[in-house]
């Protein structure tokens, strides 16, 4: 995903990331949308790259797909949106704030009519991998900060 920032300091004070994924529920046979979000603080942009990462726990995948060995194809679509002060959102950069698979033009992650499961996509900071690569990923803002 590409975005342009206006802050000359080379930092975004706060960046909000929202993740969306669609998985077909084995019980209802209907697609469900998984949601997750995180806000990061003091995000460095000097090298023009920002890495954010999120996970769906294996038990969640197994519960929804019915398989203890889920496959990439079990996720029918996913999307990521970012927002924050100093991120340019007009013109050609408006499109750079969303990255999605599966009918990106339809904006399915906004206009969703089926079941939502909030909080099942979690940022790296809430996984066993939190301590790894701390110099690559931005620091998540604690909710009460």
Q: What is the pLDDT of residues 128-137, one digit of tens each?
A: 888 888 778 8
Residue 122 pLDDT > 70, yes or no? yes
Q: Return the structure tokens found at 104.
A: 């990106």
Residue 4 dihedral angles phi and psi, to the nearest 5°: -110, 140
- Report how far residue 54's alpha carbon sits from residue 60's, in angstroms, rounded to the nearest whole number: 14
Backbone angles phi, psi at 28, to 5 degrees: -85, -15
Whole-model pTM: value is 0.83
Which of 58, 59, 61, 54 has the alpha carbon at shortest distance from 123? 54
Each residue of 70-118: pLDDT tens digit?
A: 888 888 888 888 888 777 656 555 554 555 565 555 677 888 889 999 9
Distance of CA 88 to the CA centre of its chain: 19
Model confidence pLDDT, tens digit, residues 7-35: 777 788 888 999 999 999 999 999 999 99
Token reading at 102: 């599966």
Contact 43, 140 (CB under 8 A): no
Q: Is the dihedral of CA 135, 97, 5, 2 positive or negative?
A: positive
Least confident of 45-54, 55-64, 108-117, 129-138: 45-54
Domain locations along the chain:
11-140
């Amino acid at each position: 995903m590409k975005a342009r920032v206006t802050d000359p300091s080379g930092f975004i004070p706060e960046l909000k990331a929202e993740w969306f994924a669609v998985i077909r529920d084995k019980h209802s046979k209907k697609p469900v949308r998984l949601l997750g979000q995180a806000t990061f603080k003091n995000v460095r942009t000097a090298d023009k790259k920002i890495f954010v990462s999120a996970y769906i726990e294996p038990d969640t995948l197994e519960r929804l797909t019915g398989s203890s060995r889920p496959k990439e194809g079990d996720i029918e679509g996913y999307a990521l949106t970012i927002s924050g002060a100093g991120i340019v959102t007009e013109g050609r950069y408006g499109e750079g704030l969303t990255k999605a698979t599966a009918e990106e033009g339809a904006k399915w992650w906004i206009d969703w009519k089926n079941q939502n499961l909030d909080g099942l996509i979690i940022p790296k900071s809430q996984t066993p991998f939190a301590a790894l690569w701390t110099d690559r990923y931005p620091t998540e803002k604690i909710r009460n900060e």
